[in-house]
Amino acid sequence: MTGDHANKYADEVRRLIEQRLKIKGPTLEKALARAGRLLPQWAHREGRYLAQASQMMDHPKLRTMVDQSKFEKAHKALISHLKTIDPVERRKTRILGVLGVISFNLILVVAALLIFLVWRGYL
């Protein structure tokens, strides 16, 4: 594997992060940092390894230190995880979560108002 292949793999993962999570970053490291809690910890670990290994693959002497099988495994794991993420479903889930919190708080306010009105004798 050459440095070009490694950079291509890292760019593929970065593009998937951009498409699926709507997070832009000039490099894979920046995209992973901006992803934050949207990706699980193992994905961050594999992504950091992929980014670091792609940088090492550009250097001829450091290239021998990269474990090819681990590099391929990290790439495949990240690709398969990112392909399962549906941006439309994430958006719907986020909107429904916000609406659920708003409706719960509204129910609490109405209940508190009714309790206050009964306590003061207006109802």
Which pLDDT score, from 0 to 100, does residue 29 have? 95
What are the tens digits of pLDDT across the range 42-52? 999 999 999 99
Which pLDDT score, from 0 to 100, does residue 123 have? 85
Domain ranges of the chain: 1-85, 86-123
Place of tokens 């990240």: 78
Which percentage of the chain shows pLDDT scores above 90? Answer: 88
Judging by beta carbons within 10 Å of its beta carbon (0-12, 13-18, 19+), is residue 17 exposed, middle or buried?
A: buried
Which pLDDT score, from 0 to 100, does residue 110 have? 98
**pLDDT at position 12 over 90:** yes
Inter-residue contact 71 to 50 (CB < 8 Å) = yes
Inter-residue contact 79 to 15 (CB < 8 Å) = no
What are the tens digits of pLDDT across the range 82-111? 999 999 999 999 999 999 999 999 999 999
